Structure 1
Amino acid sequence: MKIVDLLKGLFIIVLALAVLLWLYGTFNNQPLFVTTAMWMGDALVMIPAYLIPSITGWLVKSPRLQKVILINVLGGWLILPWIIAMGMAIKRDDLRTQD
């Protein structure tokens, strides 16, 4: 089984659970369930957004993938390291001119 298929399945399961918790909490006057569902929905959006440089580096097969992941995971919550990691992930080495 590929990792992408596994992540898609996990995403769908968590999304379905968030929707069910939200519906249950809304119709049974359980605000804790609604709050939990909203936190789960936020996590489903924010975690992939946080890891965009790492995902991009993996998709373009960057030779600096390990450095990108390290910078992204350890400092990506700050804006500057996230931008640096994104720049490293999309930097093209094959565009250098031959001298």
Structure 2
Amino acid sequence: MKTVDLLKGLCAIVLALAFLLWLYGTFTNQPDFVTAAMWLGDVLVMLPAYLIPTITAWLVKSPRLKTIALLNILGGWLLIPWIVAMGMAIKRDDLRAQD
């Protein structure tokens, strides 16, 4: 099974769980379940946004993937390391070799 298919399935399961928690909390008047559903939804949106440099480096098969992932995970919550990681992810060294 491919990694992308596995991630799609995992995201679908977490999204379904968040929706079911929200439904249950809404109709049984239990705000804790609604809050948990909102947290799960936030994680589904914010985690991929936080890891955009790492995902980009993985998709373009960057030779600096480990460095980018480490910088992104450890320092990505600050703006400057996130921008540096994104710059490293989209930098194309193979274009310079063709000149």
**What's the CA shift for 1:95?**
2.5
Distance 1:56 1:77 in 2: 17
Residue of structure 1 in register with 2:81 after alignment? 81
| Alignment partner, residue 10 of structure 2 | 10
- 1:24 is the counterpart of 2:29: no
TM-score (norm 1): 0.95
**Structure 1 residue runs of 4 or more that deviate by more than 4 Å after TM superposition:** none
Normalised to the residue count of structure 2, the TM-score between the two structures is: 0.95
Find the aligned partners of 1:14 and 1:95 in 2 and give their Cα distance.
Answer: 40
Q: Kindly provide the amino acid, as one letter, of the partner of residue 77 in structure 1.
A: W
1:52 and 2:52 matched: yes
- Structure 1, unpaired ranges of 5+: none
Aligned length: 98
Aligned-partner Cα distance in 2 for 1:24–1:66:
41
Say what the alpha-carbon RMSD is for the aligned residues. Answer: 1.0
Deviation (angstroms), 1:32: 0.3
The CA distance in 2 between the partners of 1:50 and 1:73, in whole Å, is 8
- Give unmatched runs, 5+ long, in structure 2: none
